[in-house]
Each structure stands twice: as structure tokens, then as C-alpha cells.
Amino acid sequence: MKFQLIAQDIRTSARAGILSTAHGEIETPIFMPVGTAGSVKAVHQRELETDIKAQIILGNTYHLYLRPGIPLLEKAGGLHKFTGWNKPILTDSGGYQVYSLAENRKITADGVAFKSHIDGSSHIFTPESVVDLQRAIGADIIMAFDECTPYPCEHAYARSSLELTHQWLTRCVDRMKETTPYYGHEQALFPIAQGSTYRDLRERSAEFIASQGQPGNAIGGLSVGEPHEEMYAMTSLVCGILPADKPRYLMGVGTPANILECIALGVDMFDCVMPTRNARNGMLFTSRGIINIRNEKWKDDLTPLDADLGGYASTFYTKAYLRHLVINKEILGAQIATLQNLTFYLWLVGEARRKIREGTFTEWKDKMVKIIKQRL
Amino acid sequence: MKFQLIAQDIRTSARAGILSTAHGEIETPIFMPVGTAGSVKAVHQRELETDIKAQIILGNTYHLYLRPGIPLLEKAGGLHKFTGWNKPILTDSGGYQVYSLAENRKITADGVAFKSHIDGSSHIFTPESVVDLQRAIGADIIMAFDECTPYPCEHAYARSSLELTHQWLTRCVDRMKETTPYYGHEQALFPIAQGSTYRDLRERSAEFIASQGQPGNAIGGLSVGEPHEEMYAMTSLVCGILPADKPRYLMGVGTPANILECIALGVDMFDCVMPTRNARNGMLFTSRGIINIRNEKWKDDLTPLDADLGGYASTFYTKAYLRHLVINKEILGAQIATLQNLTFYLWLVGEARRKIREGTFTEWKDKMVKIIKQRL
């Protein structure tokens, strides 16, 4: 997996690059729509490609493991073939959902035992098994098994958790070496830096994962409730230690403003459920700010959702029409809002990339952050 | 509104025609997807046009009156502009939903008083008011206000109901004459024949509505639980009396096989919630038969939904993938299944039309009915 830097901002740590995978090139900085259990909710695969212009999507190993299950994915020839999405896929390790969704979870040095949130059945994830699962899913980018600490978190817990995450990383790296790509195409491992909001732990973790020499690196354990300033401080610290010639992925972040700020700190890749989940509740991200389409004020607003953005959902449908659909729980409401939000997120990172290349990123970012944060 | 017959089958009463409206031509026989409250559930407007190839859709006056409400539709310039659907729209009179959904309904000679199923608020529909509502919605085809009798229904009740429906029709016809199109484009009234499953009442009703000389005529009160043979007998009887040079619309019908049989009896237009509603429960109509995608037998079937049919949903997505989505209540499952079913329904009436023009309708219909009825 090749990562080529093509431009760097002079005043910030923002950079533009190209990550080459077996399923195509990814222009960074990039946002990855979340395709939970084999579907980015409420959008067709062709819409992801043509309207949203997604270049890579994320799959959740925990969900895919439980449903449809690995045997069916193997029979299909992997998640790409099963879903018909033929561009790159990154899978998480399943750890995050085990902690947030599963029941009766028990963490040991070996791994995590848990019960399915669907039927209560018992399962065990280990560093080795989650590598195997992600190989079988066919992910282009495989995430290491880690423990994502909650916020706030005692220093002692954060430290011992970090040590476990590092042990698990070593086992993931070993497992990657012992095994081969499942469907012939290249699969790369990204380690994850943890350490909660403690500078010493974050430094130690960043140094440890940097030393592994993997094709890319991730920052986990942020956007879990800490103040934005803490998130930015930790991201900046870790980005400064991670190798500059490898892509940096900040997991689970965030709002459009968070993304622009973290691009400025040197992050190349993002994922978040916010544009898709919030869409289904009627929250729209637009190039002029945030809209709660359920508000009375949009009731008879017959202007397009986001005329400046362009694209189908943004220009074809009006605010009054979408409000009517969302209020009345019409499926099309979720479809339109999701299309709007993801189109906006991909547009935003694309614009950031363009501004980095043009050398005007900082001014643009400072102006844009104010606009996209405001509630209309 | 001009209706031109371009072909008639020799062995049956099937015919092919072109109905010209202010929003474009409709090639008959045609199926009209149901767009309840301003949305054909789970499909984008461009999908309706490009993938499904819908030529006219149906709106429900009862739903549109309650939500988003007539004032907003008027402000938008009618339902076409509000939704962005720029091809023909037919609206029902609201009567059917008043009987099936509303609470505390009370029928008098003047009209129907009812309480909204949403908030219990009180409303009255009269023949005059539903014409006005449909004018304000901007429907190309306006349906007369009628009472749809249940099945079974006593002869005495069916007769007195029929008399009321005929009185109301006269008032609708008068109201149409007293008023003008709301947005400049032509709006045509279709009367509705009732009479339950009684030959004498059906004859009387068909003769009465035929005598009104309106641009099209409809057959109501069927597909409400009666045996298919009764439905066919009544449809045949009424089609024989309705003028041949006007389109005939059989309301609320039906299965793909019902539609082919009723085309053979001389029906030109159909609507039904079956392809959309059943899609959301995982029932697929395909060119090879009916599939309940929830069945275990499709679990690892990696073949396309309906390769022979062509089109995006039918060829791009597999049965195993759709089953996974439907079982897990993914919105995309409803989107794919709806696209499949409506594409199939429109393909079916298009094929029927082609066979009528080629003079091979009967053989094709007899063969096709067997295929599309079978459960795969």
C-alpha cells in the first residue's frame, strides 16, 4: 500500500496525498462513510459512488461477524463482492462495538469474551481472530485490536489498558505476517494509538505504534466525550510523532468543524456515523451551516436544501418537502438527508484538499469553520 | 385530455392507447405507483422516472390534505412542484382512506364527517370539497367522491350506497364545471362505478357513469376481499358498458396476474400499494415468480434478484445481500425491494402493451400469468 504526499500546507500540518490500494486510489484528506453491516444506511451503492463520491467506506467487523456472518461473506468472495461496492473498504477491529454494544463482556490478556447484543450468544475476539475475520471480510485496511478507553478515565487504567493494546498490537502484527490476503488483493494493518487524554501515555503509544512500521496509523480513543480542545491537543501531539510518510486516521471524528481542525493538525482519514445517523433524525449539514429540518421555520421554505453545494439531493429537493417527509417518517426523508450529509462531508474534505494544494488552506479553513458550525 | 387507441387485441378486450395530459403522455395499459403523501415510499423521484419508468403516479387526497396540508401545496404551486415529480399525477378522492383509516366517520347525504387518524381533529369531505382539494393539489386526473362498499355487502346497502355515489358524482361534475384549473394545466374528472358484486347494480352504475361523458372512467369497490373470479366478472361486465374511446381505470388492483387478466378484460389503468408495501416486508415480484426474500432458501443465493428483468436493482444486487438487509431492517433493503417491484410492474404493463400491438397478447398472457403467480 503506497502513500504519496503531494502537497503540504505551510502554516499548518495539513497535507494532501494519494493512498493507493488494490481497489483504487484514495485522495486524502478523506472522509469514510460508515457502512455498518454491509450497507451505508439509506443510500444505494451507485449513489455512494456517483453522487456522494465516496472513495472508501468503513465496515464494522462486529456487525458483519454476527450478520450476515463470515461464512456467507467468504462464499461471496468477500464484502466487496457481497455488497457490490468495488472501491476500498476499511474495517474496524470489532473492539469498539464489543465495548459499546455487546453484553457481559470480559477483557483478559488473551482477548475479549462477550455475548451478542442480538441473541445473547457467546463469542470471543482475540487479536489473532479479529485479524482473521478482517482478512475473511476482505478489507483493504485492517485495524488492530485495541481497547478504546472511556472518558474520563483514570491514568492508571489508561496506562494498563494501553499496555494491553500494545501487546495485542504485537500479536496482530504477527498474525498479519503469518497469514496471507484472503482473496489475493493486498491487505494492510493500521495500528491504533490510545492513551486517553494523558500526554505521557499518548506519546508513549504514538512512539510504539510508529515503531511498528505499518503502512498507516490510527488515533483511537478520542471523540468519546472529552472537550474538543483535549481532542485537538491529543491529535496534534500524536500526529507530531507518527511518521509523516504514512497516512494518519483519526477514528470516529467528527463534526465538519472537527474534521477541518484535525486536517490542520495532520490527519488524513476520518470516519463518523454523524452524517448518516443524524440525517435520519433530520439534522442536515450544509455548506451554509447546520439545519434541524424538523424546526417549524423550514415548514414552507421552498428553496433547495443546499443550492451552493450542487448535486442531486441538495438542489432537487426543497427544505419544506424534506421537512414534510422527515416529520411523517417517510423513508425517502432518510434517503434525501443522508445523501445531503454525505455529499457535503465528501465535498468538504475535497475542498480542503484543493485548498491545501492551492496553498490557501488556513484562511479558507478559518472562514469555513465559522460558517459550517452555525445553526441556521 | 385526449385518449387515442392505437391497438386492440383480437381475442380479448385488451387494448393499447395513449392518454395525453398536460404533464405528458401515458402509454396504456399502465400501472401507477402509489405516492401516498407526496412520496412513493423508499424511491427517489429520479428513480421513479429513470429506473422504474413510471409515467404517472397516484397521490392520496386524504393524506395530502392532512399532511403537508393544502396551504403548503398551494404555496409550492401544487403537488408536482412540491415533490419535483413533473409527470402526470392522479389523485383519489380521499373517500377510501376516510372509510379505512379515519375515526368516527359519519356518512350523510351531504358528505362524510370524520376525525383524523393522526390527531383526532374533525373534518368534513363533500363532493364539492374533494374536487376543490384535488384542484388545489394540482392533479391531472381527479377522482369523483364515492363510497367504496366493503365485501361482502348486502344488496340493499350496496344499492343505496350506489345511489349516494351517483348523487355525489353529479355534484362533482357540477363542481368541476363551476371551477377552473388551479395552476393553468388541464384537470380531468374520472367518475367511479360501484355496485359491489351485484350484476344489476354494476350495470346500472356503469351506464350512469358512462352517460356523464367524462374523459375517463373508473371501476371502484373491487379488490376488497372478494374472490378473483367475482372481480374479473364485475370488471368484464363494467368494461363492456363503459365507452371504448375513454380510458378505464380499475382502482386498487392488484397482483401482477390480476393486472394481466384485467388488461385482457379491457382495463387501461391500475394502481395498487402491493408492489411498494409488500417490498417493505420482503416480498419480491420478479419475471420468474414471487420471492419471499426472508426465506432461509435465499440465504446464500448470490445470483441477481431478477437477471432477466434488467435494470439496476434487479441485476446489481443479489438475493443473499437483499435478504441480509431485509432481515436486519436496513433501509436499503426497502429501497432495493421497492425498486425491484415497481420496475417489474412497469415492465409487465409495458410488455403487455407491446404484445397487444404485436397481436400476440393472449398467448403471452396465458403463459406469463402462470409464471408470475408461482412462488419461488
Q: What is the 3-state secondary structure (H, E, C) of chain A?
A: CEEEEEEECCCCCCEEEEEEECCEEEEECEEECECCCCCCCCCCHHHHHHCCCCCCEEECHHHHHHHHHHHHHHHHCCHHHHHCCCCCEEECCCHHHHHHCCEEEEECCCCEEEECCCCCCEEEECHHHHHHHHHHHCCCEEECCCCCCCCCCCHHHHHHHHHHHHHHHHHHHHHHHHCCCCCCCCCEEECEECCCCCHHHHHHHHHHHHCCCCCCEEECCCCCCCCHHHHHHHHHHHHHHCCCCCCEEECCCCCHHHHHHHHHCCCCEEECCHHHHHHHCCEEEECCEEEECCCHHHCCCCCECCCCCCCHHHHHCEHHHHHHHHHCCCHHHHHHHHHHHHHHHHHHHHHHHHHHHHCCHHHHHHHHHHHHHCEC
| Cβ(B38)–Cβ(B68) below 8 Å | yes
A317-359, pLDDT tens digit by residue? 999 999 999 999 999 999 999 999 999 999 999 999 999 999 9
| Chain B interface with A: residues with Cβ < 8 Å | 37-39, 41-46, 67-68, 72, 75-76, 82-84, 299-300, 302, 312, 316-318, 320-321, 324-325, 327-328, 330-332, 334-336
pLDDT of A262 over the 90 cut: yes
Dihedral pair phi/psi, residue B189, rounded to 5°: -95, 135
Residues in chain B with pLDDT < 70? Answer: none
pLDDT at A98: 87
Contact A302, A346 (CB under 8 A): no
Contact assignment for A300 to B328 by CB distance below 8 Å: no
The ipTM value here is 0.98
Catalytic-role residue among A51, A92, A146, A268: A92
Query: What does the buried/exposed string (b/e) look like for A275-304 if buried means 16 or more CB atoms within 10 Å of the residue's CB?
Result: bbebbbebbbbbbebbbbbeeeebbbbeeb
Distance of CA A194 to the CA centre of its chain: 16
Nearest to A76 among B43, B67, B302 (CB): B302
Contact B291, B357 (CB under 8 A): no
Give, for B27, the enclosing helix (H) or strand (E): strand B24-28
Q: Which residue has the cell 428483468?
A: B309
Task: Tell me the C-alpha distance between B210 and B223, whole Å.
Answer: 22
Catalytic (active site) residue A271? yes
In DSSP terms, B91 is beta-bridged to B59, B142
Binding-site residues on chain A for chain B (CB distance < 8 A) = 37-39, 41-46, 67-68, 72, 75-76, 82-84, 299-300, 302, 312, 316-318, 320-321, 324-325, 327-328, 330-332, 334-336
Residue B359 backbone zone (phi > 0: left; psi -120 to 50: alpha; other: beta): left
**Chain A, nearest residue to B316 by Cα:** A84
pLDDT at A315 over 90: yes
Task: Please count the other Cβ atoms lying within 10 Å of the Cβ belonging to residue A360.
Answer: 12
C-beta of residue B39 within 8 angstroms of C-beta of residue B22:
no
Distance in angstroms (rounded) separating the CA atoms of residues A297 and A364: 30
Which among B321, B324, B331 has the least Cβ separation from residue A334? Answer: B331
Average pLDDT over residues A75-85: 98
Q: Give the residue from B312, B315, B324, B330 with the most A CB atoms within 10 Å of its CB, the best one to mutate.
A: B324
Mutate which of A47, A48, A72, A137 to disrupt the B interface (most B C-beta within 10 Å)?
A: A72
Most B CBs within 10 Å, among A85, A328, A329, to test the B interface:
A328
In 3D, which of A372, A101, A108 has the Cα closest to residue A256?
A372
Which pLDDT belongs to residue A161? 96
User: Rounded to whole angstroms, how far apart are CA atoms A96 and A84?
Assistant: 26
Q: How confident is the model at residue A102 (pLDDT cuts 50, 70, 90)?
A: confident
Quote the CA–CA distance of A187 and A189 in Å, as a whole number: 7
β-sheet bridge partners, residue B271: B32
- Can you tell me the distance from the alpha carbon of A181 to that of A184, in angstroms, rounded to the nearest whole number? 5
Element (H, E) at B132: helix B127-137
CA distance B287 to A136: 34
A146 is catalytic: no
Report the relative pairing of strands B141-143 and B89-91 from DSSP bridges.
Answer: parallel
pLDDT value for A100: 86
Q: So what's the pLDDT on residue B98?
A: 87
Helix (H) or strand (E) holding B8: strand B2-8
B4 phi/psi in degrees, rounded to 5: -120, 120
DSSP state of B318: B
- In the block, cell 506519546 appears at A203
- Cβ–Cβ of B328/A37 closer than 8 Å? yes
For residues A200-223, give the mean pLDDT. Answer: 98
Alpha-carbon distance A251 to A54, whole Å?
17
pLDDT value of residue B331: 98
Q: Nearest residue of B to residue A333 by CA position?
A: B42
With CA atoms as reference, the chain A residue closest to B80 would be A321
Residues in chain B within 8 Å Cβ distance of A300: 72, 75
Instruction: Calculate how close chain B gets to A317, using CA atoms only, in Å.
Output: 7
Strand order through the sheet with A188-190: A57-59, A89-91, A141-143, A188-190
A227: CB partners within 8 A, 6+ apart: none
> For the packed helices A155-178 and A127-137, what is the interaxial angle rounded to 10 degrees?
50
Q: For residue B82, which residues of chain A lie inside 8 Å, CB to CB?
A: 302, 318, 320-321
Of B42, B46, B302, the CB nearest to A312: B46
Beta-ladder partners of B219 = B193, B250
8 Å CB contact between B250 and B175:
no
On whether the CB atoms of residues B120 and B172 are closer than 8 A, the answer is no
Nearest to B332 among A39, A302, A324 (CB): A39
